[in-house]
Amino acid sequence: MIISKKDISSFDRIYRLKLINSLSGLKPANLIGSKSKDGISNLAIFSSVVHLGSDPALLGFILRPRTVERHTYQNIIDHDYYTINHVHPSFVKQAHLTSAKWEKSEFEECNLTEEYLAEFPVPFVAESKIKIGLKFAEKVDLKINDTALIIGYIEFIKFTDPDILLEDGDLDYDKANSVAVSGLNTYHEASEILKIAYARPIKDNSI
């Protein structure tokens, strides 16, 4: 089944939104925690967190400025800090509901628990097994469609279960049980099928 550029333009807006959002593959489901100037906590689900580099340790995410996500960005600018928290099956529904518009803090409205750790001025998600504290680094505007890449330095990591961190530095995702998302609203559990050594050319092609 083939879909051309012309087909894509001709699709109904919602159908295209669902199809194109589904195309990139399985995406990480992450909750970004932040706090407004007035002290109101904010929590929003993102599927666009991306690894940018390990030294310095950097993560990015894509911001669509015309949505509820703008609270997240304003808060990041105001406080300079934000948190990224993995989502697990036990609270995937609550996590998804943060994408709606709420009057009060999404923590309260969606039944998730604020957690403050070390000197971090913004909330982590207590229910999350992998919590990352970041300091805002840079906003890179993507003029092609008025989105932006928000880049932050990783300053703090907490694993609620120390067994998640393996001896070699990898994380055990079967233990963490972090969920993936496809499209806008379909969630998936993952199970490890293969851990391979660093790839080197092989001579006999016996893969």
Touching a second copy, residues 137-196 (CB under 8 A): 137-138, 140, 142, 144-145, 147, 149, 151, 153-162, 165, 168-171, 173, 178-180, 182-196
Q: Are 201 and 193 in contact (CB under 8 A)?
A: no
* Helix (H) or strand (E) run with residue 154 in it: strand 147-159
In the set 37, 65, 67, 89, which binds a second copy (CB under 8 A)? Answer: 89
- 3-state secondary structure (DSSP) of residue 112: coil
Nearer to a second copy, 37 or 190 (CB): 190
For the CB of residue 112, give the shortest distance to a second copy in the complex, in Å.
10
In the set 74, 77, 80, 92, which binds a second copy (CB under 8 A)? Answer: 92
The radius of gyration computed from the CA coordinates of the chain, to the nearest angstrom, equals 19
State the residue for tokens 């932006």: 148
Which range touches a second copy (CB under 8 A), out of 17-25, 32-40, 75-83?
17-25
The yes or no reply on residue 128 touching a second copy (CB under 8 A) is no
* Helix (H) or strand (E) run with residue 53 in it: strand 50-54
Bridge-partner residues for 63, per DSSP?
148
Touching a second copy, residues 18-57 (CB under 8 A): 18-30, 47-57
**Spatial separation of the C-alpha atoms in residues 170 and 185, rounded to whole Å:** 28
Nearer to a second copy, 37 or 51 (CB): 51
Q: Determine the size of the site formed for a second copy (CB under 8 A).
A: 113
Report phi then psi at 8, rounded to 5: -60, -45
The yes or no reply on residue 77 touching a second copy (CB under 8 A) is no
DSSP state at residue 171: B
